[in-house]
Amino acid sequence: MSRTDENRATRFAVIGGSGAYHLLASGALGHEPDPEVIETPFGKSAPLHRFAGPAGEFLFLSRHGEKDYSLTAPFINYRANIYALKACGVERIFSWSGPGIINPAFKPGDFVLPDDILDETRNRESTFFKNSGLGFIRQNEPFCPELRGALHDALHTAGKPHQERGVYVCTEGPRLESPAEIRKYRILGADLVGMTLAPEAFLARELEMCYQPLCYLTNYAEGVVARKFEKGTLFEGMQTEEEGIAVEAAIRQFPDILRAGFSSLAKRQRTCQCKDAMKRYKVKGMIGDDWRLWISEA
C-alpha cells in the first residue's frame, strides 16, 4: 500500500466474525463501492469495506470470508489483516466473535465483553517482529479498556443485557474441543472458548492499535450441558433451535451497537496504554515513528 493511501485515513475498524458475510450481503451495514484488498509484506489482506457511520467512515473486514464461512480460524492471515488496517490509518478496532460457553452462568445469545485471554493456539504466526529484539510487551490488559467502556455504554443505552467481563480461551481449531479440554479450560478460569482472538489482539497491540472484542455466545461447549449428537446440523446438536434464534437476533443488533460505540469514541481522545505499547523501544532509540520500519527491519 502506498503512503498516498493514508490520505483516506480511517480511525475506526470492525473485524467481523461468524455471520459477518450475512450482514454484508443484506446491506445491514450500509452500501459502499467495491472493497479493497491490500498487498502487505505478509500477503494479501481480506477485502476492506468502507462504510459511513455517525462518527465518520469506518472499515469493515470479514475474517471468515465474503459470502460464506469459507476460511477457518487457523488459516486466516491475521498479520496481513492487521497490517492493512494500520496502513489505512486505523487506531481503534472492534472485533466481534461468536465463542462457545464454558461458564454455565452464560447462555446462547448473550453479549460478553471479554477482559482477558488464554492463548492455546499452536501453529500461528503470532508477531510482526519475528527474529528481532522487539515485541516484549506487557499484557496486563490485553484488550483496550476504553473500547470496552464504549461498548458497555452502547449496550447499556440500547438496553441490551451483557456480561462486562470474561476470560476467552483461544484454541487452534478448526476442530471443536473435547470434553476433557473444556474441563481443563474451566479449571484455568476460562468463561468462553473460541478460535479467533489470538494472535489478532496481540498483533494490534504491537502496532499500537486499540482492540476490543464484542462476543455473542453461540452454544454451550462440549460437556457443559448434555446434548445429543445430531448428524448434518449446525454444531451437530450443540445448539437448539431456540438458541439459534437468539444467536441470529444478537447478530442483527451488531450494526447499531458498533455504530453507537464509534459515536461514543469519536468524542474521546486515546488515553489508554495501547497507543504507547512500543514507547520503550522508541526511548531506547531502537525504532522511530515510522511503524513500517519496525517491521521491515525486524
What are the tens digits of pLDDT across the range 241-281? Answer: 999 999 999 988 988 898 899 888 888 889 999 999 999 99
pLDDT in tens, 107-132: 999 999 999 999 999 999 999 999 99
Closest by CA to 201, choosing from 30, 79, 33, is 79
DSSP state letter for 225: B
**Percentage of the chain lying above the pLDDT 90 cut:** 72
As a whole number, the mean pLDDT across the chain is 91
Which residues neighbour 167 within 8 Å (Cβ) at sequence distance 6 or greater?
114, 115, 116, 117, 118, 189, 190, 191, 192
C-alpha cell at 253: 443488533
- Does an H or E element contain 161, and which? none
HEC assignment per residue over 193-205: EECCCCCHHHHHH
Chain centroid to Cα 135, Å, comes to: 20
Q: Which CATH superfamily is domain 3-296 in?
A: Nucleoside phosphorylase domain (3.40.50.1580)
Q: Which position has the higher pLDDT, 32 or 247?
A: 247
Q: Which of 65, 84, 87 is nearest to 76 (CA)?
A: 65
CB-count exposure of residue 145 (10 Å: 0-12, 13-18, 19+) = middle
pLDDT tier at 178, thresholds 50, 70, 90: very high
| Residues 179-219: tens digit of each pLDDT | 999 999 999 999 999 999 999 999 999 999 999 999 999 99
Q: Is the CA virtual torsion 14, 75, 109, 119 positive or negative?
A: negative
Is 31 a residue whose pLDDT tops 70?
Answer: no
Domain residue spans of the chain = 3-296
- Can you tell me the distance from the alpha carbon of 118 to that of 102, in angstroms, rounded to the nearest whole number? 13
